[in-house]
Amino acid sequence: MRGFSLALFAMLRRVTAWRKLHLTVAGNVALLVQVATPIGFNAHETRLGLLGVFAAAALAIAAPFAVVFPRRHRPLGAERMLPKFASVGTPLTYSVVLHNGGRHPLADLTVFDRAFDRNPDAALFRDAREPGESRRNGFDRVVGFYRWSWLARRACGVTVMPGSVPLVPAGGTAELRLQAMPLRRGVVRFREIIVGRADPLGLVRGLVRVPRPQSLLVLPRCHPMSPILLSGSRRPQPGGVAEAQSVGHAEEFLFLRDFRTGDSRRHIHWRSSARRGELVVKETRDEYHQRHALIVDTFAGPGQQELFEEALSASASVLTALGLGEALIDMMFIGAEACCVTAGRGVGTIEHLLEILACATPCRDRSFASLKALVLGHAAGLCGSLCVLLDWDEPRRALVTALLGLGLPVRVLLILAAEAPTPDPGPLSAVPDRFTVLRVGALAAGLAALR
């Protein structure tokens, strides 16, 4: 029964998409009139039936235009100019350029931009929950059409409003701006640009399809918040100077001196050695500056997808608020493998960390202990840490306790459902201001209140 329902939903979606593309507003009204009137029963006896006959005749007359137009205007081309990034929930505007390679101008065109999409499978439909689904009536919750539609829109990743072009001259070009709304983070793949023109009756569109595969990376939603000051003293940082980041050990240059037994060959200054005819080495010292860790909890269970998305959104907002300045930021999480990515001082940018967050997936084949091992393995050079957690169970408390035992300041942002009780700060009871609970649905307000 569930499989039949999903197949029916998919068919309805295909019919709706076809109708929106091929019929104008007037064409949809004519189709509605034709379907709503009792044609074939009393079409010659009532005015309503006669109206249905007229609607059917108008659609039949206009229909051949949908076949003729794409054949006559095959030289029509289109190019899409996307930005480098977009962000979930932030309207996106980009340009589309039409090229008319024909001998006649084209007027009153409508442009549609379509992304690849796929229908949700049964497993995803069963496990997922639409935001606010608990507020729907019992029939809608059982049938699940709204949940299926939400999942289908998320799979597509973006909604694009159609645009119009008054005129494209023969052999010339025209540019228009399209408005889009990214619906999810990650890579959105566009498929084709469709250029349509209505028939003389204004009922049916003829469509020219221009395949234009292209990708757009959508970053997690970032909420505005005040800059966060992370406490912690400076520590010596191997790899801290931008000049030597690429080789993995960075020190501040002081002076040249003669080679001594036991000096590393890596420190030999070969150019000066060749000039003097004897080995000369560079005397250096480690640089001292701040290095902070952003620890992202990716251990989300089957029913915690919304919590996971909010955690990534909180992490992206924190990164944007922190900026780089003179500090280094190590973002640590467990994905397909243990990841520790650094930004700052010539190593990387905040945008690079956001790109990685955009493609993160929940980790369900490892335990939280793997994240603890990753963090403690990099704790020696840290000045402080900020943890974005999905739960406040014993393994997560143990991580915070271990960091505090190393003398590191720790701040916790705990993402919880709206109805979940507020837990005790546990190891952070002595500094309750470093333990913040952020609720799903009120994340923006919670982040705006952070200091």
pLDDT of residue 161: 95
Q: Let me know if residue 340 belongs to a domain.
A: yes
236: confidence class by pLDDT, cuts 50, 70, 90: very low
Number of domains in the chain: 4
Those residues whose C-beta lies under 8 Å from the C-beta of residue 82, and which sit 6 or more positions away, are 94, 190, 214, 216
Angle, helices 305-322 vs 350-358, to 10°: value is 170
Provide mean pLDDT across the span 159-163.
94
Q: Let me know if residue 123 belongs to a domain.
A: no
Those residues whose C-beta lies under 8 Å from the C-beta of residue 32, and which sit 6 or more positions away, are none
**Residue reference for tokens 């860790």:** 293
- For the stretch 113-134, pLDDT in tens is 999 988 888 877 877 777 777 7
Residues 319, 389, single domain; the answer is yes
Provide mean pLDDT across the span 266-273.
74
| Mean pLDDT value across the chain | 84
CATH of the domain at 85: 2.60.40.10
Q: Let me know if residue 139 belongs to a domain.
A: no
239: confidence class by pLDDT, cuts 50, 70, 90: very low
Domain boundary among 43, 62, 81: 62
Helix, strand or coil, per DSSP, at residue 433: helix
Which residues share a beta bridge with 194? 112, 209
d(CA 134, CA 140): 10
Please say whether the beta carbons of 279 and 273 come within 8 A.
Answer: yes
Identify which has the larger pLDDT, 253 or 157.
157
Whether pLDDT at 257 is above 80: no
Residues 298, 440, single domain; the answer is yes
Residues 46, 161, single domain; the answer is no
DSSP 3-state percent helix, strand, coil across the chain (nearest 5): 35, 30, 35
Whether pLDDT at 139 is above 90: no
Q: DSSP secondary structure string, 80-99?
A: EE--SEEETTS-EEEEEEEE
pLDDT of residue 43: 47
Please say whether the beta carbons of 412 and 435 come within 8 A.
Answer: yes
Which residues share a beta bridge with 115? 190
Residues 424, 326, single domain; the answer is yes
Q: What letter represents residue 304's amino acid?
A: Q
Percent of the chain predicted with pLDDT > 70? 87
Helix, strand or coil, per DSSP, at residue 343: strand
- For the stretch 341-398, pLDDT in tens is 988 766 778 888 999 999 999 998 899 999 999 999 988 888 889 999 999 999 999 9
d(CA 61, CA 11): 27
Structure tokens that stand for 266 in this block = 């890596």
pLDDT of residue 306: 86
pLDDT of residue 181: 95
Q: Let me know if residue 130 belongs to a domain.
A: no
pLDDT of residue 242: 43
pLDDT of residue 48: 64
Whether pLDDT at 249 is above 50: no
Q: Let me know if residue 267 belongs to a domain.
A: yes
- For the stretch 89-106, pLDDT in tens is 899 999 999 999 888 888
pLDDT of residue 289: 61
Residues 245, 262, single domain; the answer is yes
Q: What letter represents residue 366's amino acid?
A: R
Residues 274, 366, single domain; the answer is no
Residues 195, 247, single domain; the answer is no
CATH of the domain at 317: 3.40.50.410
Burial class (CB in 10 A: 0-12, 13-18, 19+), 331: buried
Whether pLDDT at 244 is above 50: no
pLDDT of residue 247: 31
Residues 106, 167, single domain; the answer is yes
Which structural domain range is residue 373 located in?
291-448
Range with the poorest average pLDDT among 13-17, 68-72, 408-412, 440-444 = 68-72
Range with the poorest average pLDDT among 245-249, 275-279, 323-327, 429-433 = 245-249
Q: Let me know if residue 134 belongs to a domain.
A: no
End-to-end CA distance of the chain: 52
326: confidence class by pLDDT, cuts 50, 70, 90: low
Q: Let me know if residue 151 belongs to a domain.
A: no
Residues 252, 343, single domain; the answer is no
Q: Let me know if residue 131 belongs to a domain.
A: no
Instruction: Find the radius of gyration of the CA atoms of the chain.
Output: 30
DSSP H helical segments within 235-338, as ranges? 270-276, 305-322
Please say whether the beta carbons of 106 and 100 come within 8 A.
Answer: yes
Residues 240, 333, single domain; the answer is no
Residues 403, 344, single domain; the answer is yes
d(CA 387, CA 404): 12
Residues 363, 427, single domain; the answer is yes
- Please report, for residues 229, 303, 367, the alpha-carbon distance to residue 335 in angstroms, rounded to integers and kept in the order given: 28, 18, 11
Helix, strand or coil, per DSSP, at residue 152: helix
Those residues whose C-beta lies under 8 Å from the C-beta of residue 315, and which sit 6 or more positions away, are 220, 294, 296, 331, 357, 388
